[in-house]
Amino acid sequence: MLNAFIANFQKSWIEFKRYYFNTISGLATVLIFFYLIFFGIKAIGGSTMDFGNTLEGVIVGYFMWLMFIFSFQGVAWGIIDEAQRGTLEQVFVSPIAFEYQMLFRMISDFVFNVLFAVPLMYFVSYTTGKQLNFDLPTLLYLLVIGTVSALGIGMMLGGIALVFKRISSFIQIITFGSLAFTMFDLSKLWYRFLPMSQAAYLMRKLAINGTKFYQFHFLDHVILWSVAAIYLAAGILVFRGFEKRAMITGTLGQY
C-alpha cells in the first residue's frame, strides 16, 4: 500500500514537472477566468453584488470550485487516459484494489493542487484589494473534507467512462454546472447537501469573518462530514456498478 501511494505521488510530480508548459498555461487560465468573473461582477453590481454575499465570497467560491473540479476531473480523466494508453487493465490486475489506486492519486493531486491554489488565492486577494482572513488548520480541514465529495463525483464519472469511453462533453457540463454549488446563498438548509456547498459556505465564514473550525456550529460539522460520506459512498457504488458492467461485456480495456 505504501509503495503504491509513493508511486502515484511520484507519477503526479513527474507529470507536473514534465509537462510544465501545460501546468503554467493552466495557472494562467485560472487567473484570467477569475479576473473576468470578478471585475465583470464588480462592474455590473459594485462591491456589494450578492454572489456569495460579497466579492470576498466570489474569491473563496471560485477557488473552492477549482479544488472541486481538479479533484473530480483528476479521477475521471485519469481513468480515460489509462484507457487511451491501454494500461487500464494493468491497473485493475494490480494487487492493490483500483479504488485505493484512485484514492492515492486523488491525495497526490490534492497536495499539488493545494500548493498551487492557496498561493493563487492570496495573490488574487492582494491584486483585487480584498482582505481574506485565513487560519491554515481551518483552511486545510475544509479543503480536505470538502473535496471528498468531489472524489465521489469523480468515481461516478470514472465508472461512466469505463462503459461509454468518451464523456468529455458530459464532464464539461458537470464542471460549469458545479460553479453554482460553491456560490449559492445557503439560506435554505438543503442547499448545503450539494457537493462542496457546505465547505464553500464555511470557507466564506473563515475568509470574511476569520471563523476557525472549532467555532463552527456542531450542525455545520455534521453536514460537512455527512455530505462527504454520502457522495463518496454513492461514488464507489456507482463506479462498481459500471465496472461490473464493463467486465461482463468485456470492454474494460477497449477504447
CA distances from 123 to 126, 129, 179 (A): 5, 10, 21
Compute the average pLDDT of residues 106-127: 80
Which positions ≥6 away from 138 have C-beta within 8 Å? 206, 211, 212, 213
| Digit-coded pLDDT (tens) for 130-177 | 766 677 788 888 888 888 888 888 888 888 888 887 787 888 888 877
Q: Contact, 117 vs 61, CB < 8 A?
A: no
Residue 199, pLDDT above cutoff 50 = yes
- Average pLDDT score, the chain: 79
Q: Which of 159, 162, 13 is nearest to 72 (CA)?
A: 159
pLDDT (0 to 100) of residue 255: 60
Residue 179, pLDDT above cutoff 80 = no
The answer to which of 53-57, 77-81, 144-148, 248-252 has the lowest mean pLDDT is 53-57
Place of cell 503504491: 4
| Confidence (pTM) | 0.78
- Please give the Cα distance from 102 to 8 (Å, whole number): 9
Q: Contact, 139 vs 187, CB < 8 A?
A: no
Compute the average pLDDT of residues 172-198: 73
Q: Contact, 197 vs 184, CB < 8 A?
A: yes
Q: Find the Cα–Cα–Cα–Cα dihedral 188, 193, 194, 198, rounded to 10°.
A: 80
pLDDT (0 to 100) of residue 182: 65
Q: Contact, 253 vs 89, CB < 8 A?
A: yes
* DSSP one-letter code for 52: S
| Digit-coded pLDDT (tens) for 78-112 | 777 777 777 777 777 778 877 778 778 877 887 88
- What HEC string does 122-150 produce? HHHHHHHCCCCCCCHHHHHHHHHHHHHHH
Domain boundaries, the chain: 2-249
**What proportion of the chain, given as a percentage, has pLDDT over 70?**
86
Q: Contact, 17 vs 115, CB < 8 A?
A: no
Which positions ≥6 away from 224 have C-beta within 8 Å? 142, 145, 146, 198, 199, 202
- Please give the Cα distance from 143 to 252 (Å, whole number): 33
- Please give the Cα distance from 166 to 144 (Å, whole number): 29
